[in-house]
C-alpha cells in the first residue's frame, strides 16, 4: 500500500478526505504567479483610472461613458478580488473555506453576466447613435442609461441567485474531496444559462454591430462622394465623425470581448463526449479575466480624453479646485 506524502495533500491533517495537489514545476509556478499578479495589478490600476476619470470630470458625464463606467466597475472587481483568489488557487487547492467559495462563485457569475449585459447596452447605444442620430439625444439620456445599468446589475444578481440556489444552499455537495470549490448545475439550467448569458446577447451584439458597420460605411461613402441629396446631406451632417470613431473603438472592445469569452463557453457547445484538459480550462478562464485588462488598454490607445485624464490623475492635478470642470475633450 502506497502512503501519500503530506506535501502532496492540500490539507495534510485530513489524510483520507483531502484533495491532492497537482504536480507542478516550482520555477514555472513562481513565474506563473508573477505574470498573473502583474496582470491583476494592471487591471486594477487601469480600470480605477477609468472610474476616476468618468466620475470626476463633468465633460465625460455622457450616456456612452456611463456604460463604460459600469463596465469598468465590473472589470475593476475582477482584477481586485477574483484574479488574486485564482492566483492563490493555482496550486490546485481551495484554501478559503465553503463560505468564501459560495461568495466567490456567486459574485463571479454576477460580474460575468453583468459584463455581457453592459456590452449589449453599449451595442444598443452605438446602434442608435449611428443609425438614428437625429433622435439619439432624445432617446438615449443620462437618466435612461442609469436606469438600464441599474436594471442590468439587478437582473444579474437575481438571475444568478436563481440558477445557483442549490449550490448556495449546499456548497460541498459536489466536491469529491476537501479542498475543492466546484459548481455543478443541471443540464437544463446550464442550457438556459448559455442561452441567456452568451448565445442571446452575442447574437444581439453581432446583429447590431453589423447594422452599425453597414450604415457607417454608407455614410463615409456619401461624404467622400459629396452626395447632393438633401436627405442624405442632413444625415451626413448630423452624424458626427466622433460618433463613428466611438463606434469603431467600442466595436474593437466588443471584438476583444468575443475573443476572450468564446473559448470559455466553447466546451459547453462541444458536448460531454469532448474532454478538455485542465490546462485549457485554466487558459480559457484567464483569457476571460484578461478581458478586464484589455478594455482600458483599448481606451488608452484610441481615446485621447482618457490619456489626458490619466495625466491629470497621475500628476494629482485633479486635487486642484474646480478640476472637475477641466477641458479633457
Res. 5: pLDDT tops 70: no
How close are the terminal C-alpha atoms of the chain, in Å? 72
Res. 124: pLDDT tops 80: yes
Judge whether 40 and 83 are in contact, CB under 8 Å.
yes
pLDDT of residue 90: 66
Q: Return all residues near 129 (Cβ < 8 A) that are at least 6 apart.
A: 64, 136, 140, 243, 246, 247
Judge whether 311 and 323 are in contact, CB under 8 Å.
no
Question: Which of 86, 51, 68, 34 is CA-nearest to residue 287?
Answer: 86
The whole-chain average pLDDT of the chain stands at 82
Question: pTM of the entire structure?
Answer: 0.84
Q: What DSSP state is assigned to residue 274?
A: S
Backbone angles phi, psi at 178, to 5 degrees: -80, 120
Judge whether 256 and 295 are in contact, CB under 8 Å.
yes
Residues 34-88: pLDDT tens digits? 999 999 999 999 999 999 999 999 999 999 999 999 999 999 999 999 899 888 8
pLDDT of residue 238: 46
3-state helix, strand, coil in the chain (%, to 5): 80, 0, 20
Cα 291 from Cα 75, distance rounded (Å): 8
pLDDT of residue 96: 83
Phi-psi domain of 146 (left: phi exceeds 0; alpha: psi -120 through 50; beta: other):
alpha
pLDDT of residue 170: 73
pLDDT of residue 147: 96
User: What domains appear along the chain, each with residue ranges and CATH number?
Assistant: 6-325 (1.20.1070.10)
pLDDT of residue 236: 47
Cα 311 from Cα 277, distance rounded (Å): 44
Helices (H), 57-186: 63-77, 83-88, 97-131, 136-139, 142-163, 165-169
250 or 290: which leads in pLDDT: 290
pLDDT of residue 309: 92
Res. 103: pLDDT tops 60: yes
Locate cell 478562464: which residue?
285
Cα 38 to Cα 49, 71, 100, 137, 324, distances in angstroms: 17, 21, 24, 41, 31
Amino acid at each position: 500500500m502506497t502512503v501519500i506524502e503530506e506535501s502532496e495533500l492540500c490539507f495534510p491533517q485530513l489524510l483520507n478526505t483531502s484533495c491532492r495537489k497537482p504536480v507542478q514545476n516550482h520555477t514555472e509556478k513562481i513565474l506563473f504567479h508573477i505574470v498573473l499578479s502583474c496582470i491583476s495589478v494592471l487591471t486594477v490600476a487601469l480600470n480605477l483610472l477609468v472610474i476616476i476619470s468618468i466620475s470626476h470630470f463633468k465633460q465625460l458625464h455622457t450616456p456612452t461613458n456611463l456604460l463604460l463606467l459600469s463596465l469598468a466597475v465590473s472589470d475593476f472587481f475582477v482584477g481586485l478580488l477574483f484574479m488574486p483568489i485564482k492566483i492563490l488557487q493555482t496550486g490546485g487547492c481551495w484554501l478559503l473555506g465553503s463560505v468564501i467559495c459560495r461568495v466567490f462563485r456567486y459574485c463571479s457569475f454576477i460580474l460575468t453576466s453583468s459584463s455581457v449585459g453592459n456590452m449589449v447596452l453599449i451595442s444598443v447605444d452605438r446602434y442608435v447613435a449611428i443609425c438614428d442620430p437625429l433622435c439619439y439625444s432624445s432617446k438615449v439620456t443620462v437618466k435612461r442609461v442609469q436606469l438600464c445599468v441599474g436594471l442590468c446589475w439587478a437582473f444579474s444578481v437575481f438571475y444568478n441567485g436563481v440558477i445557483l440556489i442549490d449550490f448556495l444552499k449546499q456548497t460541498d455537495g459536489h466536491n469529491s474531496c476537501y479542498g475543492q470549490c466546484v459548481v455543478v448545475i443541471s443540464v437544463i439550467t446550464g442550457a438556459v444559462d448559455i442561452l441567456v448569458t452568451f448565445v442571446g446577447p452575442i447574437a444581439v451584439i453581432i446583429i447590431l454591430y453589423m447594422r452599425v458597420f453597414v450604415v457607417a460605411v454608407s455614410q463615409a461613402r456619401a461624404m467622400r462622394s459629396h452626395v447632393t441629396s438633401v436627405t442624405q446631406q442632413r444625415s451626413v451632417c448630423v452624424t458626427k465623425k466622433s460618433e463613428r470613431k466611438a463606434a469603431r473603438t467600442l466595436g474593437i472592445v466588443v471584438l476583444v470581448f468575443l475573443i476572450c469569452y468564446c473559448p470559455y463557453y466553447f466546451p459547453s457547445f462541444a458536448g460531454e463526449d469532448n474532454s478538455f484538459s485542465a490546462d485549457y480550462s485554466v487558459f480559457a478562464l484567464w483569457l476571460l479575466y484578461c478581458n478586464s485588462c484589455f478594455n482600458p488598454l483599448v481606451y488608452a490607445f484610441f481615446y485621447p480624453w482618457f490619456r489626458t485624464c490619466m495625466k491629470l490623475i497621475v500628476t494629482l492635478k485633479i486635487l486642484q479646485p474646480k478640476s472637475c470642470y477641466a477641458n479633457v475633450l
